[in-house]
Amino acid sequence: MFDEDKDNLPRNQPKKLKPLDKLSIDELREGIEEMKSEIVRYEKEIERKKAHAAAASSIFKS
């Protein structure tokens, strides 16, 4: 019932930021490393989608 409401939410809502003042330096560094890993994952997905689009485009240009 409530899951249906979740599907109607905008996909690009800003994420709630967690407070950083309570985190230690090590926890902050760990958070940075996690974000860097996530950026790499996003970049790989972009490249995969670009390659897929290029392959599809080349089929239709032939």
Closest among 38, 43, 6, 41 to 30, alpha carbons compared: 38
Q: Where are the domains of the chain?
A: 23-62
Distance of CA 18 to the CA centre of its chain: 17
Q: Cα–Cα distance between 31 and 43 in angstroms, integer?
A: 18
| pLDDT recorded at residue 6 | 61
pLDDT top residue among 18 and 62: 18
| pLDDT recorded at residue 59 | 86
Please check the confidence at residue 11 and state whether its pLDDT lies above 80.
no
pTM equals 0.66
| pLDDT recorded at residue 1 | 47
Please give the sequence-ordered ranges of beta strands (E in DSSP) within 1-62, or none if there are none: none
| pLDDT recorded at residue 58 | 86
